[in-house]
Amino acid sequence: MGIFSKISKKQNIVLPAKEDKEKKEEKKAPEAAAEKKAKPAVRGPLAKEGGGQSHRILITPLLTEKADRQQSLGKYAFMVAPGANKIEIARAMRDLYGVKPVSVRVISVKGKNVRFGRTSGKQKDVKKAIITLKKGESISVLEGV
């Protein structure tokens, strides 16, 4: 037996797909399977149903001490996609959280040069957005992420 005959035998093995397991679970308990699939997040009145590609624009909220202090003033900081502009960021905020921002400020931060022994490298460039809401409006930052 050569190497290639072993490989061809291994290729004939078919593993059960995840879909088959989900179908079996639905047969056992259809109510529990329906609850797993449909768990809508609590959103504002302006939020769209799916949010489209907005989750690709607002990557993650910045959870730092400075960002925490700014939240009391109605300003929220997010890491955003490098190619996003202010209009896309405002639209994503409306789609995911259901609030219309008053202003959006964008900051591009260049990655630092770093060294690991003899090897030198560079950290990623990131883009941050500071989103200001109207007085009295607030969001739960961890809700949409």
pLDDT digits (tens, 9 = 90+) for 121-145: 999 999 999 999 999 898 887 754 5
Q: Is the pLDDT of residue 30 over 70?
A: no
pLDDT digits (tens, 9 = 90+) for 55-65: 889 999 999 99
Q: In the prediction, which pLDDT does 45 show?
A: 56
- What are the phi and psi torsion angles at 131 (to 5°)? -110, 125
Residue with tokens 């730092």: 64
Residue with tokens 């769209």: 48
Q: Which domains does the chain have, with CATH numbers?
A: 54-132 (3.30.70.330)
Which neighbouring-strand residues pair with 106? 129
pLDDT digits (tens, 9 = 90+) for 71-125: 999 999 999 999 999 999 999 999 888 899 999 999 999 999 999 999 999 999 9
What pTM, to 2 d.p., does this model score?
0.63
Which H or E run includes 101? none
Q: Rounded CA gap, 74 and 90, in Å? A: 15
Residues 9-31: what's their mean pLDDT?
57
Q: Is the pLDDT of residue 38 over 50?
A: no
Residues 22-38: what's their mean pLDDT?
56
| CA 140 vs CA 44, 61, 99, 108: distances in Å | 11, 10, 11, 25
